[in-house]
């Protein structure tokens, strides 16, 4: 039984992580840390026997603590993860793994030196849906991938009526739509097509001020510092490409979350069901014969997973982490993949400023 600790007990912890952790038979949450004492206490109260901490060093010294899940704000991920690794804890970090590629690579080396598992969200490729897509591509049934088209586009957390935290950080220069939601699409397209070779992007701030619509911060004005429209092109080599929209300035859309076009067919994932880890896929099969026996198969579900309950896309992160620690799965959400996506995200900003395509150096 893995003894888990939670670092950061904010909105995402209560809404997305705790309901999953309460169902995992191979893990027990024994400690919860937050700088706000009430949040730490409320989190610990959900797990029998768990202790609440507001001092990080004391939390890491909790007796028998094996592994931690880092749910702190994005700018803090690297330093929080580094301290946990130095304390001998396995780590699952929320995205992004760090702010700089050098810091991410240092974390990877530290985890190897310590003999520890380091995984990073988002959990896209660990979901039953994307595992099945990978198997389908490997089978050759729909040919070879040539183009992925994806979008993660909303008005951002200030307009999410179910969000209970302060959304200001999401519009800061350190976050923005690429880091917060575009990262899902970037993990998906690189998870399916492999490491990208070049990136080119355009972006700007379309709506410079936001008003929080709901929750305890309703009415608060937020000045937007990060580009809220970002258009991204990726070159994977061998005439394989992807285009991704990451935006906090789109009121709504009926466009798919992602479509993958192959030489023998197309896969389409509905944006309204994106966060379902076990969701359906629409598949179009091409027929190269004169008979023309081709068309869409809509609402196709992958075979049911055999690892127990089904979760949301986010929920498959901790579920996969725990199963890896128990020796039941091989790591999919690797720190190397997360570092490649981090390099893409950082060079997106460089490409916008420089107005040109930039080569990528990392791989996974």
Does the residue 294 lie in any domain? yes
Please tell me whether residues 74 and 216 are part of one structural domain. Answer: no
Please tell me whether residues 88 and 35 are part of one structural domain. Answer: yes
Helix or strand run (H / E) with residue 126: none
Closest among 116, 231, 249 to 185, alpha carbons compared: 231
Please tell me whether residues 109 and 158 are part of one structural domain. Answer: no
Does the residue 13 lie in any domain? yes
Does the residue 361 lie in any domain? no
| Predicted confidence pLDDT, tens digits, the chain (364 residues) | 999 999 999 999 999 999 999 999 899 999 999 999 999 999 999 999 999 999 999 999 999 999 999 999 988 999 999 999 999 999 999 999 999 999 999 999 999 999 999 999 999 999 999 999 999 999 999 999 999 999 999 999 999 998 888 999 999 998 999 999 999 999 999 999 999 999 999 999 999 999 999 999 999 999 999 999 999 999 999 999 999 999 999 999 999 999 999 999 999 999 988 998 888 999 999 988 888 889 999 999 888 766 677 899 999 999 999 999 999 999 999 999 999 999 999 999 999 999 999 999 999 9
Does the residue 20 lie in any domain? yes
Cβ neighbour number for residue 304 with a 10 Å cutoff:
9
User: How far is Cα 241 from Cα 103, in angstroms, rounded to an integer?
Assistant: 28
What CATH number is attached to the domain comprising 38? Answer: 3.40.50.720
What CATH number is attached to the domain comprising 131? Answer: 3.30.360.10
Is 209:156 a contact under the CB 8 Å cutoff? no
User: How far is Cα 171 from Cα 226, in angstroms, rounded to an integer?
Assistant: 6
Does the residue 141 lie in any domain? yes
Q: What is the pLDDT of residue 310?
A: 86
User: How far is Cα 223 from Cα 210, in angstroms, rounded to an integer?
Assistant: 7
Please tell me whether residues 286 and 343 are part of one structural domain. Answer: yes
Please tell me whether residues 184 and 110 are part of one structural domain. Answer: no
Q: What is the pLDDT of residue 288?
A: 83
Give backbone dihedrals phi and psi of 246, rounded to 5 degrees, phi first: -120, 120
345 contacts: CB under 8 Å, gap ≥ 6: 96, 178, 179, 182, 183, 186
Please tell me whether residues 271 and 160 are part of one structural domain. Answer: yes
Dmax (CA) for the chain in angstroms is 71
Domain housing 303: 124-309+339-354
Does the residue 314 lie in any domain? no
Please tell me whether residues 193 and 252 are part of one structural domain. Answer: yes
pTM higher than 0.75 for the full model?
yes
Does the residue 70 lie in any domain? yes
Provide the annotated active-site residues.
Answer: 95
Please tell me whether residues 175 and 142 are part of one structural domain. Answer: yes
Tally of domains within the chain: 2
């Amino acid at each position: 039984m893995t003894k888990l600790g939670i670092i950061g007990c904010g909105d995402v912890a209560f809404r997305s992580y705790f309901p999953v952790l309460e169902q995992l038979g191979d893990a027990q949450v024994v400690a919860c840390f937050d700088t706000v004492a009430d949040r730490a206490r409320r989190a610990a109260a959900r797990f029998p026997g768990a202790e609440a901490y507001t001092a990080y060093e004391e939390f890491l010294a909790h007796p028998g603590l094996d592994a931690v899940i880092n749910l702190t704000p994005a700018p803090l991920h690297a330093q929080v993860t580094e301290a946990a690794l130095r304390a001998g804890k396995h780590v699952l970090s929320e995205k992004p793994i760090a702010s700089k590629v050098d810091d991410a690579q240092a974390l990877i080396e530290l985890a190897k030196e310590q003999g520890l598992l380091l995984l990073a969200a988002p959990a896209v490729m660990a979901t039953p849906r994307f595992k099945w897509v990978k198997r389908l591509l490997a089978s050759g049934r729909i040919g070879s991938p040539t183009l992925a088209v994806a979008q993660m586009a909303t008005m951002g957390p200030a307009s999410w009526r179910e969000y209970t935290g302060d959304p200001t950080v999401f519009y800061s220069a350190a976050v923005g739509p690429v880091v917060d939601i575009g990262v899902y699409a970037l993990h998906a397209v690189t998870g399916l097509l492999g490491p990208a070779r070049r990136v080119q992007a355009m972006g700007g701030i379309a709506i410079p001020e936001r008003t929080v619509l709901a929750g305890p911060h309703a009415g608060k004005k937020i000045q937007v510092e990060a580009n809220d429209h970002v258009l991204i092109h990726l070159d994977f080599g061998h005439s394989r490409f992807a285009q991704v929209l990451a935006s906090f300035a789109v009121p709504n859309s009926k466009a798919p979350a992602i479509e993958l076009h192959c030489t023998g067919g197309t896969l389409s994932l509905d944006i309204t069901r994106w966060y379902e880890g076990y969701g359906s896929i629409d598949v179009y099969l091409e027929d190269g014969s004169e008979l023309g026996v081709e068309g869409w198969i809509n609402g196709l579900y992958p075979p049911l997973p055999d690892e127990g309950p089904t979760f949301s896309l986010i929920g498959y992160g901790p579920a996969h982490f725990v199963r890896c620690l128990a020796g039941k799965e091989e790591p999919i959400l690797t720190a190397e993949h997360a570092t490649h996506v981090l390099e893409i995200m950082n060079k997106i900003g460089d490409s916008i400023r420089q107005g040109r395509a930039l080569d990528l150096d990392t791989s996974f």
